[in-house]
Structure 1
Amino acid sequence: MAIDTARRVQSLYVPVGDGVRLAVDVWLPVERLAADGAVATVVRATRYHRAEAPSGPEPEADSNSAEGDLWTSAGFALVLVDARGTGASFGTRTIELGPREVADYGDVIDWVAAQPWSTGRVGVYGTSYEGQAAELVVGLGNPHVVAAAALFSPLDAYRQLFYPGGSATSGRFARWMCESRIKDGVAGARERLAEITGLPPESLPHQPPVKPVDGPEGPALLEAAVKEHQANVDVDGLMEQVPFRDDRLPGLDWEDTAPVAAREAIESSGVPMLVRAGWIDGGFAAGALARFATFANHQEVEIGPWGHGGRTYADTLNPDGSLGADAFGTEGQDRRLVDFFARYLQRGERPAGTGTLTFSTLGTGRRQTVTSWPPKGLAARRWYPNVAGELAAEPVDGAGPVATVPYRVDPTASSGPINRWLAGEIGRGAAYPDRRAAEESLMTFTSAPVPADLHVVGFPVATLRLATSGGDGAVYVYLADIGPDGEVAYLTEGCLRFQHRATTGPAEPAGTGVPRSFARADSLPVVPGQDLDLAVELQPVAALVRAGHRIRLALAGHDASCFARYGPPDETFTLSLGAVPHLDLPVLGPEPGSE
């Protein structure tokens, strides 16, 4: 099917290297094409339907009408792709974001570049899964790819989404996989989701049908494609078999699907990247900072008070705020996204330097820009927990016997139903209402009121010496801001499954946290009652702790919101105090800067 350059949007099949036909939508800036003859193109590939079945033939009825307007009004062509085995595309899925799928997108880009309406200059972008796909496409080294945007997506899905600290968020993974298979049209997926959620199948919301390709044969081709989807791999059944970062199965391979593993190829491409993350959205901010600190290619990184996808708001120190219409708002985000691609695809600019990191500070509405990570002036300040439940500036005198504090693990402890690990599924920014009640069953240590504002920026690290009564388990560590009225405001958290406690280098709270492999060969046994030395990396954050507020460190043995349980039912911890246990808090100067 030839593309009609007088039509604003059209849908067709594009065959890829192994002959599988992918459903593709092409949005064209028809006026710009009439004047210039050829335009640059941005490509977004998805496994969540490139478009829903429209109510009518006009472009305004398309579910991507606003996205089409955004790009075509700026003079770009927009190409949307259903991944193989999904939507209206043919084929089956043997793995999520595997090499064949990524190669498909390279084939589509080659097809785009060969079109008479294309300048041959292509950008790739996307949010979440789609952003991870865009970054992996950069690693192909396709000469037509000029720029990329990875938005709210993991650099390493094992660490930053599915196994943070080595603890499985298995419940949310199972729901995601079932909902994805329902979108793929796989028989039985709806019943499986009902089984997981405990809800009757008829009460589950129905997914809108996918858009078929154009033409009278479109519906029949869609039906034939969905028949091929029935053989899609059920990744949920494999999740429990890959608890280590280097575990590899035919249907689930952390290495093959992680952009961090493609670092050399991504760097050598020379492709500039726009990266965006929210401070309280999974572990994606950690990936954004690690990428900025270690990848050599030019990056323009933004970290803000955003929920997953950037369309919702998440600032636990200012919970009643909103994105508004400023730089944090959706219009500002979209404007910078379009301008990023315009600079490289349309104006042919070349990136200068390694890039910039612009980040907001929770509780202030301010943002600042630095050119390196860690930024100048960032240093760790240390606090020590003591037997009185305090976080003190000095450790307890080590001359006497080591004090210990027992703690009976509460298996019902939870960070709530709207937490950072679930925000992507519930469609809103993470929220942690006053946690006074939630922390009643936790082991807590609280500082004196801080005499001056503390601008916390980076990866807090809790170093613990802890024994457990079980042969396995995990510790969950929370950092909170305690207001003068006693309100407990969540700042960040970290967790560590005990068998993953081995590190590959020193902790860097003012750098990129705690290096560890999570590899099977580095696993360490857990002996009941034996002290474990733990360096627990908390998710990075930028937040202003106001003068007169206090800092709290809270410990738990489980988070029932979405994590797998590893300890025994009657688990107890024994925390040793003294000079070893401490909290390192990265602090950047007395006040955050502003634009």
Structure 2
Amino acid sequence: MIRKYPANRHCPYVRPVCNKTAEEMTIKNLCLAFLFLSTYQICLGQAENFKSYYVPAVGGTQLAVDVFFPENYDGQKLPVLFEFTRYWRSREDAQTGEPKPSLRSNDKLFLDNGYILAKVDARGTGASYGVRTGEYTPTEVKDAYYVVDWMVNQKWSDGNVGAYGGSYSGTTAELLCATGHKAVKAVVPGWSDFNVYESPIRPYGMLATGFISQWSQFVNWLDQNSTENLGSSIRRVNEDIPIEGIQEHAHNPIVLELATQAKYRDSKFGDFKFEELDPLFWKNEISESQVPMLVLTSWMDAGTAEGTLLRLEHFPNPQKVILMPNSHGGGHHTSPFQVSDQLVPPVPSAKEQLQLQLDFFDFYLKGKRSGIEDWPTIRYYNFGEETFKESDTWPPKGQQRVQYFLGSNGILRTSVHDEATGVDEYQVNFAVSTGTNNRWSTQMGKPILNLDNRNAADSLMLTYTTEPLREDLQITGTPYITLHLSSTHKEGAIFVYLEDVDQNGRSRYITEGGLLLEHRKLSTNDMYDGIPYHSFNEADASPMPVDQIQEISMKLWPTSVLVKKGHSIRIAISGADKDTFDRVPAEGTPTLSIYRNKLNVSFIDLPVIPK
């Protein structure tokens, strides 16, 4: 029997989750907001027609599944859209057991347009049984195959399955392709992880403590069904039977402890190595599936844009990419040319983002001509110009590489400096920060703010700035930097920020890169053609030799920005980002020497699209 709970008020497709500023949010507020990431807002009071099931997966582990049906569903076979989540498929009141609304704006849109939805608690989470042995594990990938196989054999399924989601469930949507199940016809990975070691857990080889400590606390509360902190309880599959699976969840590892111990990409993170816990590990299987993808992502969302572009270049699956200027989940604008300390609506709007997904599924699961056949391969936002551009290739046609060289007096030059001994010394200032609303903290659902004026931060760093440009410069792609440097300490880190400086001297953040210096050894990887690549494997790590010049080459996260005539390009160099990463070294204050002469050339290499 289908359970139905009446709606008590109208629910539009888009509803704001919170009107607090980021500074006012406690970790509890963040966690509650994170349960329903921006674009996918909860629809309070929406009628829910659903059945709950336990479905056996790998080893017989029972997974909790809610199947939602359109209003006035009369038994016809329909395509099924699947969300495999780590963040509870449904909730209920902890005291009364009254189901709390769990449909979100995208769910409502899909149901209203003739889809059945299946929401699944991953093993070791929610009302599912089992113990977690890591995140995105191979076991979890195989579990998804069992659930899809069960779905397509139900009387309400027409045999066509799509997967969707944002953040964790965006990644599991892509990983569903790796199962090879023939019923999977299309997926929408939203703001998904691609290389989990580098984004979001250990960017640059450093633990992203600011993010991972909060996320670890959040998922621990979920796993323990902490009603005090979350304000609700996981919804039971059978309302008359307690959730026995939660007793097993008590044995789930603490993610922060795993992440702290797993220093290298080939380290164990639970029962599996880091390198086994992301779509990159499943490249061959995903490629062989040929499942079409609509990829939604944002330039400023951790390193998700890099994963999106690597996938587009190196996975042969049919793909459409929307690369936005938005926060994690697509909820807020992030452009430093638009955003200061106040929230700005996203581009595209939340409603437009949802419609893109519906059009995509309609084409691949229902055979409707929804217009996606005419979409370009990639639409990407261009900062500075503040508009979208289109391309059917990546990188865009005509891309060239242009180098700017570090020179004396903080000048960034177009030619190599002719000095024989030029060097700048910088004592690391551990007060440097990109703030608490940056590309890493947005992974917890926070907006990105206050990157529109970096002058105060720049004063704490070593900076190099070009003369005002004589014409516009279009940067699109992955920058990288090569520095010849020495350090007074064997442990340390380097951070590099690319900035736009306007005619008034105001600097705006464009993108960043970094490296824990023990990972300076370069490796080869066909996916990083011409871009410095670091394996982050234990065997390739070594301490810095004290006071000896080392060549450090590293990528910055990809971007697209129009630096206008009269503006300048700046790079700012530091050894810390205090609100995001741990202090390196834990004790002592290194002095970094940056060499910028004809014998030891230091430069930034920019991907440029000529007019």
Question: Which TM-score applies when normalising by structure 1?
Answer: 0.89
Stretch deviating more after TM superposition (240-249 or 533-542):
240-249
Aligned length: 563
Correspondences of 1:440-479 after superposition (within 5 Å): 440-479=459-498
d(CA) in 2 for partners of 1:513 and 1:152?
23
Greater shift in the superposed pair: 311-320 or 574-583 = 311-320
| 2:182 partner SS | coil
User: Structure 1 residue aligned with 2:505, among 486, 510, 514?
Assistant: 486
Would the aligned equivalents of 1:467 and 1:573 in 2 still touch at CA under 8 Å?
Answer: yes
Instruction: Indicate whether 1:208 and 2:231 are aligned.
Output: yes
2:360 to 336, 340, 355: 340
| Deviation (angstroms), 1:182 | 0.5
CA contact (8 A) 1:314 1:431 kept: no
Out of 338, 343, 364, the position equivalent to 2:385 is 364
- In the TM superposition, what is the alpha-carbon distance from 1:504 to its structure 2 partner? 2.6
The 8 Å contact of residues 380 and 389 in structure 2, kept in 1 or not, is answered as yes
For 2:460, what is the secondary structure of its paired residue? coil
Give, as a single letter, the amino acid of the residue that structure 2 aligns with 1:124: A
1:209-358 equivalence runs, <5 A: 209-213=232-236, 215-217=238-240, 220-222=241-243, 224-251=244-271, 253-319=273-339, 328-347=348-367, 356-358=377-379
Aligned partners of 2:337 and 2:452 also within 8 Å: no
- Partners of 2:551 and 2:500 lie apart in 1 by 26
Residues 160 and 176 (structure 1), Cα distance of their counterparts in 2 relative to 1, 3 Å cut: same
Out of 421, 424, 427, the residue aligned to residue 408 of structure 1 is 427
Structure 2: tracts of 5 or more residues without a match: 5-46
Over 3 Å counting, the alpha-carbon distance change for 1:558 and 1:233 in structure 2 is same
Amino acid of the residue matched to residue 10 of structure 1?
K
The 1-side partners of 2:417 and 2:392 are apart by 39
The amino acid that maps onto 1:269 is S
Decide whether aligned partners of structure 1 residues 128 and 508 sit closer, same or farther in structure 2, where only a CA change above 3 A counts: closer
CA–CA distance in 2 between the matches of 1:169 and 1:109? 34
- Residue matched to 1:554: 572
Q: Is the contact made by 2:259 and 2:269 (CA closer than 8 Å) also made in structure 1? A: no
Q: CA deviation at 1:349?
A: 8.3
Show the counterpart of 1:520.
538
Deviations 1:38-60 (A, max 9, x none): 1001101111111221699999x
Given the superposition, is the C-alpha separation of residues 405 and 429 from structure 1 closer, same or farther in structure 2, using an over 3 Å criterion? closer
Distance 1:209 1:324, change over 3 A: closer
Superposition CA RMSD, Å = 2.8
Q: Is the 8 A contact 1:170 1:239 kept in 2?
A: no
Secondary structure at the aligned position of 1:43 is classed as strand
1:144-159 equivalences in 2 (<5 Å): 144-159=183-198
Distance, in Å, in 1 between the alignment partners of 2:81 and 2:59 is: 24
Q: Quote the offset at 1:565 in angstroms.
A: 2.2
Aligned counterparts of 2:57 and 2:605: Cα–Cα separation in 1 = 51
**Whole-Å separation in 2 of the counterparts to 1:318 and 1:360:** 13
Structure 2 counterpart SS, 1:8: strand
- What is the aligned partner in structure 1 of residue 443 from structure 2? 424
**Is 1:375 the equivalent of 2:396?**
yes
> In 2, are the aligned partners of 1:88 and 1:210 still within 8 Å (CA)?
no
Give the whole-Å Cα distance in 2 for the aligned partners of 1:265 and 1:135. Answer: 11
Alignment partners' CA distance in 1, 2:125 and 2:526: 42
The 3-state SS of whatever aligns with 1:388 is helix
Equivalent runs, 1:376-395 vs 2, <5 Å: 376-395=397-416
Superposition deviation, residue 215 in structure 1:
4.5
Output the CA distance in 1 between the equivalents of 2:86 and 2:245. Answer: 14
Following superposition, the deviation at residue 430 of structure 1 comes to 4.8
Q: 1:436 matched to which residue of 2?
A: 455
Alignment-derived partner of residue 196 in structure 1: none
Give the equivalent residue in structure 1 for 2:117: 78
Letter of the structure 1 residue corresponding to residue 502 of structure 2? G
Aligned match of 2:179: 140
The CA distance in 1 between the partners of 2:395 and 2:153, in whole Å, is 43
User: Whole-Å Cα distance in 1 between the matches of residues 270 and 98 of structure 2?
Assistant: 43
Shift of 1:572: 0.3
**2:161 maps to 1:118:** no
Query: Per-residue deviation at 1:186?
Result: 6.4
Please say if 1:52 is aligned against 2:108: no
